[in-house]
Amino acid sequence: MYLDNVLKMVKDKNSNEPEFLQAVYEVLTSLKPVIEKHPEFEKQALLERIAEPERLIMFRVPWVDDNGNVQVNRGFRIQFNGAIGPYKGGLRFHPSVNQSIMKFLAFEQCFKNALTGLPIGGGKGGSDFDPKGKSDMEIMRFCQSFMSELYKHIGQDVDVPAGDIGVGAREIGYMFGQYRKLRNAYEAGVLTGKGLEYGGSLARTEATGYGLIYFMREMLKANNLDIKGKTVIISGSGNVAIYACEKAQEYGAKVVAMSDSNGCIYDADGIKLDVVKQIKEVERGRIKEYANRVSGSVYKEDTDCRNIWKIKADIALPCATQNEINLEDAKTLVANGVMAVGEGANMPTNIEAIEYFLEKGVLLAPAKAANAGGVATSALEMSQNSMRYSWTFEEVDKKLDDIMTNIFKACQKSAEEYGLGTNYVAGANIAAFDKISKAMIAQGII
Ligand code: NDP
Ligand code: 2IT
């Protein structure tokens, strides 16, 4: 009853925010058995507080393009929940960015960050700025303008942004430079994902993708399976997709497909990752190029990004964006024999598709657990910045592996405790909620 009332209230208050409602619905409904055990939550209005951001900042980002024209974008920072540490989460630059997408990402981030076991609260930000086709100087001017407002709201003990879609080391560098200039202080821990020359952490670039495969390894192992020799398809060809591919290949999997927002490539012999890296990381080009460079591979144009799910595979790794797998895609994947799905992107699988996978016994590694390696390594970057010291690649990678293994164990334990079998989706939500709810209750009604 309490849960239903809260869901209705959240729906009424945010009726024009479908992605945010989807994320809240997914988490809260899976917490039902926990909520029923704790009548005190209602008195504390705990769920109402968990579903309401502590602060939402929206601002104008004016900048001048290469033709001398003034452009105006919208900037956001959502400081969702700071109960367990400074707000922490990425910045997304993509034309689709709006308040609903920012809020869903910030909400998910709170639970993800709790699962890492590290002291970080949840936040997210970004802009509807489209980096595609912009010159390097335009990117720099945009980042400087964005930071000219954002700097007032962040700090190494306050809120620590990082990258997400459209924001990588280049953008973080420009934003860090502007922050340093405005503050006249070297607060290295204010942003993560920095370059190695000025406070970045080794293995942060690889962390989300590697972490996804470490989680997948543990999930498969717990079910007497192994990634070695499996056929894998990976949507996207950005930061997460590339390093998921790298680690999957290292573990002996055969990755046969990758994509971008224009289409997907299929290479029956296995993706040549050095070619993908050259196209995406160096040339900032389109994945289509791959087919021109690797004989025997094929490219298929596809503007709604769903063709990739028609390719037969044992394991599917959605690593592009939200809601990229719907019920129809899930049915196709299951019909083609998929045994496991690992969510590298945030909320890539819609609710009907999640339910279908679980019903069919497909092992589903939920985003907030499986892609937590990126933010966990960001927190390790913050630790190194505080110490004014840096660890080796091997040290950071080992810590990342341990963190991902522990996250899997936490999801497994919660699922077992509530008799949910291999439903790691609910397991992740319950384990994360346990930590956040205890921290919030301990800190009183704030
Ligand atoms: P990148 O910008 O590096 O790459 C994004 C990739 O996804 C590109 O190939 C892009 O294609 C594709 N893509 C993005 N948006 C869409 C869209 N609307 N439709 C189709 N394809 C799209 O981003 P990341 O790799 O960093 O992020 C990918 C996902 O992983 C996101 O959901 C992000 O939130 C999540 N994530 C990222 C983390 C990180 O550390 N970077 C950590 C945890 C999660 P194109 O180039 O054509 O746009
Ligand atoms: O979705 C995410 O977890 C990220 N984009 C990474 C956030 C971070 O602070 O490293």
User: What is the per-residue pLDDT across 377-387, written as a single tens digit (0 to 9) for each?
Assistant: 999 999 999 99
Query: Which atom of ligand 2 is closest in space to residue 161's alpha carbon?
Result: 9
How many distinct structural domains can be found in the chain? 2
Q: Indicate whether this model's pTM tops 0.85.
A: yes
CA distance between the termini of the chain: 24
Domain extent, residue 298, equals 205-370
Residue 147 pLDDT grade (very low, low, confident, very high; cuts 50, 70, 90): very high
If we measure between CA atoms, which residue out of 425, 401, 415 comes closest to residue 341? 425
User: In the structure, which protein residues have their CB atom closer than 6 angstroms to any atom of ligand 1?
Assistant: 94, 96, 163-166, 208, 236-241, 260-262, 305, 319-321, 344-346, 371, 374
Out of 88, 103, 112, 124, which one is annotated catalytic?
Answer: 124
- 175 and 210 in a single domain? The answer is no
Q: What is the arithmetic mean of pLDDT over 357-371?
A: 98
- 156 and 225 in a single domain? The answer is no
User: What is the per-residue pLDDT across 129-138, written as a single tens digit (0 to 9) for each?
Assistant: 999 999 999 9
Domain termination site, one of 187, 219, 235? 187
Q: Tell whether ligand 2 has an atom less than 6 A from the beta carbon of residue 364.
A: no
Q: Tell whether ligand 2 has an atom less than 6 A from the beta carbon of residue 348.
A: no
pLDDT value of residue 387:
98
- 45 and 177 in a single domain? The answer is yes
Q: If you write DSSP's letter for every residue of 279-306 in order, what string do you get?
A: IIIIS---TTHHHHHSTT-EEEE-TTS-
Residue 170 pLDDT grade (very low, low, confident, very high; cuts 50, 70, 90): very high
Q: Please answer whether residues 160 and 86 qualify as being in contact, where contact means their C-beta atoms are separated by less than 8 angstroms.
A: yes
The percent of residues above 90 in pLDDT, for the chain, comes to 99
124 is catalytic: yes
Tell me the CATH number at 171: 3.40.50.10860
Q: What are phi and psi of 296, to 5 degrees?
A: 95, -15
| Alpha helix positions (H), 57-156 | 99-115, 136-150
- 124 and 222 in a single domain? The answer is no
437 within domain boundaries:
no
Q: What is the arithmetic mean of pLDDT over 263-270?
A: 97
Residues 24-62: b if buried by 16+ CB within 10 A, e if exposed: bebbbebbeebbeeeeebbeeebbbbbbbbbeebebebe
Interhelix angle 2-13/18-30, nearest 10 degrees:
170
- 223 and 145 in a single domain? The answer is no
Q: What is the arithmetic mean of pLDDT over 167-183?
A: 98
Residue 241 is encoded by which pair of tokens? 């997709």
- 323 and 228 in a single domain? The answer is yes
pLDDT value of residue 323:
98
Mean pLDDT of the chain: 98
How distant, in Å, are the alpha carbons of 144, 145, 220, 310 from that of 335? 49, 49, 20, 10
109 within domain boundaries:
yes
Q: How far is the CA of 41 from the centre of ligand 1 (A)?
A: 36
Residue nearest to atom 10 of ligand 2 (CA): 375
Domain termination site, one of 133, 155, 187? 187
- 221 and 87 in a single domain? The answer is no
Tell me the CATH number at 269: 3.40.50.720
Q: Please answer whether residues 326 and 350 qualify as being in contact, where contact means their C-beta atoms are separated by less than 8 angstroms.
A: yes
- 289 and 164 in a single domain? The answer is no
User: What is the per-residue pLDDT across 287-310, written as a single tens digit (0 to 9) for each?
Assistant: 999 999 999 999 999 877 799 999
Q: Tell whether ligand 2 has an atom less than 6 A from the beta carbon of residue 90.
A: yes
User: What is the per-residue pLDDT across 397-414, written as a single tens digit (0 to 9) for each?
Assistant: 999 999 999 999 999 999
- 209 and 350 in a single domain? The answer is yes
pLDDT value of residue 102:
99
Q: What is the arithmetic mean of pLDDT over 347-361?
A: 98
- 21 and 80 in a single domain? The answer is yes
- 153 and 6 in a single domain? The answer is yes
The ligand minimizing its distance to the Cα of 319 is: 1
User: What is the per-residue pLDDT across 200-249, written as a single tens digit (0 to 9) for each?
Assistant: 999 999 999 999 999 999 999 999 999 999 999 999 999 999 999 999 99
Residue 323 is encoded by which pair of tokens? 């809601």
User: What is the per-residue pLDDT across 313-337, written as a single tens digit (0 to 9) for each?
Assistant: 999 999 999 999 999 999 999 999 9
Q: Please answer whether residues 125 and 160 qualify as being in contact, where contact means their C-beta atoms are separated by less than 8 angstroms.
A: no
- 280 and 365 in a single domain? The answer is yes
Domain termination site, one of 122, 154, 187? 187
Whether the pLDDT of residue 18 is over 80: the answer is yes
pLDDT value of residue 303:
78
Q: How far is the CA of 99 from the centre of ligand 2 (A)?
A: 18
